[in-house]
A and B are shown apart, each in its own frame.
Chain A
Amino acid sequence: MRYHLMTMTATLALVAGAAAAEEVRVYNWSDYIDEALLTKFEEETGIDLIYDVFDSNELLETKMLAGGSGYDVVVPSGTFLQRQITAGAFQKLDKSKLPNLDNMWDVVRERTAQYDPEHDYSINYMWGTTGIGVNVGEVTKRLGEDAPIDSLELIFNPENMEKLADCGVHFLDAPAEMIPAALNYVGEDPNSHDPEVIAKAGEVFGAIRPYIQKFHSSEYINGLANGDICVAVGWSGDVLQARDRAAEAGNGVEIAYNAPKEGAQMWFDMMAIPADAPNPDGAHKFLNFILDAENMAQASNYVYYANGNKASQEYLVDDVINDPAIYPSQETLDNLFTTTPYGAKVQRVVTRLWTKIKSGT
């Protein structure tokens, strides 16, 4: 499904009287930037920014592999970036146009090197974990004070799920993250590419499927914040945004995020320039703008995701840089796992399994 939520148009270029205003088209995840930054970019550069959003790596990859997407900057996650580099979907960055590259944080660079070894194609935008967001009040009401809200037991044990079903449980519609989590729960290698092992994830989901209300990758932010649902398996910053919105609304909803103690998936969203980008020069300007320490900090302060920008850390507000759910402790970091992309035929097995899980057949 496409979420064309907004299109930014600048008036500045028109005032300047430019005949054909320069345009940069950015395709980023939904709820993933402070919109004030978009205006700021237009004011600083005089370039029209067209900003579209998506909520699924799979959808982005379909567009990339079809070619001719028309976008200048896209934001795939690590494993998807790696696949699309192999497919020839991206162009090499001209690092001379990116002076702010010096701001990058080596801790993150070392990890993202597994997807883009020399960082020739991409810069890290944000990173985070896939974990569990809960409405604390509703969950403890059903499972008691010692409800396992920091454990995969909460979401994969049918006994717990049965009790939670009536208040609403959402899972991400992202097979590349949900299947590793289920494998991790049954003690298998979450990064397994063996179809027989992957099938075990189907059994895990089969047992809890009746209690899952929906598979969706962006609705849960509002769902949690409004108190419509009480558990969401989702992305760290999105759950924290829900926490923030609930606090602002003052509706008595208390949201908590935890990376499961059994281990959580760590992912990296990378900005890259498609091989057929209409305006690669403008795309570099946008990347350099994002790499600026203050701009990057402003984005992180707004969306509650950690970034890969060392220099930005001095501008981060206290409840971002010091929140272990955003910038995890070393102990938690050691417990996080990353995955590698599936091959084409295994990919087929994974998504077919996912279709069956979702439709409950």
Chain B
Amino acid sequence: MKLRRFFLLLPPYLWLLALFLVPFLIVLKISLSDIALAIPPYTPTLDIGAGWDSFRTFLSGLDFENFVFLTQDDLYWKAYLSSLRIAFIATALTLLVGYPIAYGMAQSAAEWRPTLMMLVILPFWTSFLIRVYSWMGILSTEGFLNQLLLWIGVIDAPLTILNTNVAVYIGIVYTYLPFMILPIYATLEKLDESLLEAAEDLGCSRITAFWLITIPLSRSGIIAGCFLVFIPTIGEFVIPSLLGGSQTLMIGKVLWEEFFNNRDWPVASAVAVILLLILIVPILLFQRNQQKQQEAEQ
């Protein structure tokens, strides 16, 4: 039995080793290296065939200089904090938009649900990049939204939305909405209707019943959805760089700049390592939540 268990667990662990641990160690190694004008642009590089001595000189070439460098400049902390703030606000907005949609889906007639589900997933059929680009067309000063608002007469002059944080929020909410809707819908769909009926029989108004029963029972879906939006949003790069202005400070953008503009792989890797450390906290909380939920179901 033990052997069987071992072989069953082996594939996922190999998967994690090859696709998570090894890349992480490579990034960690580069973050401890020195920048150099060479191919690849850092030193020292490890020559595996050259034996122990070279390994020892390799190790002695590593230091924490790049991490010290990050602390010397407030840019990086500002970018981390700003990313956390943007991710937090965007997650809250996504929840506000996503919950009613999920609720509506769960309340709809059973034969409609597969179609509605399909509509939520449909945008994934188009490239994410193209969808963000089309938002540039919608939000620009000459864009569809401004034209529409001008035509209706709501505004006199076009609004500047593109290249601001507002556009970033719109982009994030739009892109990650399905990740919020689906887990919430999954919990709402399983909700036992008789509980609500009982509440109403006992004199609860519909709104109070919603607060006292529906929300608490869909909590696990809300938490899962929030993490699924929050975690990728912190490191988001495409949305802030296409829709945001140069004042939009996010760590994903700083990381890209360190890598492609600065050509500073060691510092870029150090930024990435710290980003991962920051993300570990919400990821662990998410894991705990999932585990608790599973135990509750058993």
Report yes or no: B257 in contact with A66, Cβ–Cβ below 8 A.
no
Among candidates A56, A67, A175, A345, residue contacting B40 with C-beta atoms closer than 8 Å: A67
Report the Cα distance A17→B264, complex, angstroms. Answer: 46
Report the Cα distance A59→B256, complex, angstroms. Answer: 11
Report the Cα distance A83→B262, complex, angstroms. Answer: 14
Among candidates B39, B69, B259, residue contacting A88 with C-beta atoms closer than 8 Å: B39
Among candidates B241, B259, B264, residue contacting A348 with C-beta atoms closer than 8 Å: B264
Of residues 186 through 235 on chain A, the ones whose CB sits less than 8 Å from some CB of chain B are 214-215
Of residues 56 through 70 on chain A, the ones whose CB sits less than 8 Å from some CB of chain B are 56, 58-59, 61-62, 64-67
Report the Cα distance A216→B260, complex, angstroms. Answer: 15
- Bitwise interface map of B from 114 to 157 toward A, beta carbon under 8 Å scored 1, else 0: 00000000000000000000000000000000000000000000
Report yes or no: A62 in contact with B257, Cβ–Cβ below 8 A.
no
**Shortest Cβ distance from B38 into A: residue:** A87
- Bitwise interface map of B from 250 to 293 toward A, beta carbon under 8 Å scored 1, else 0: 00001001111111100100000000000000000000000000
Shortest CB distance A128–B (Å)? 22
Report the Cα distance A347→B40, complex, angstroms. Answer: 17
Report yes or no: A344 in contact with B36, Cβ–Cβ below 8 A.
yes
User: B209 within 8 Å of A by Cβ?
Assistant: no
Report the Cα distance A61→B260, complex, angstroms. Answer: 8
Chain B residues whose C-beta falls within 8 Å of the C-beta of A62 in the assembled complex: 259-260, 263
Q: A-side binding surface: helix, strand, loop or mixed?
A: helix
Report yes or no: B267 in contact with A87, Cβ–Cβ below 8 A.
no
Tally A residues with Cβ within 8 Å of B: 32
User: A89 within 8 Å of B by Cβ?
Assistant: yes
Chain A residues whose C-beta falls within 8 Å of the C-beta of B40 in the assembled complex: 65-67
Given A66-B40, A88-B39, A352:B78 Cβ within 8 A: no
User: B298 within 8 Å of A by Cβ?
Assistant: no
Given A59-B260, A62-B263, A351-B257, A361:B38 Cβ within 8 A: no
Of residues 225 through 257 on chain B, the ones whose CB sits less than 8 Å from some CB of chain A are 241, 245-249, 254, 257
Report yes or no: B37 in contact with A58, Cβ–Cβ below 8 A.
no
Report yes or no: A86 in contact with B37, Cβ–Cβ below 8 A.
yes
Report the Cα distance A355→B36, complex, angstroms. Answer: 21
Report yes or no: A65 in contact with B260, Cβ–Cβ below 8 A.
no
Report yes or no: B267 in contact with A359, Cβ–Cβ below 8 A.
no
User: A250 within 8 Å of B by Cβ?
Assistant: no
Chain A residues whose C-beta falls within 8 Å of the C-beta of B258 in the assembled complex: 351
Shortest CB distance B30–A (Å)? 12
Shortest CB distance A79–B (Å)? 12
Report yes or no: A352 in contact with B262, Cβ–Cβ below 8 A.
yes
**Shortest Cβ distance from B36 into A: residue:** A344
Q: 4 tightest CB-CB pairs across the interface, nearest first?
A: A351-B262, A65-B41, A58-B261, A344-B35
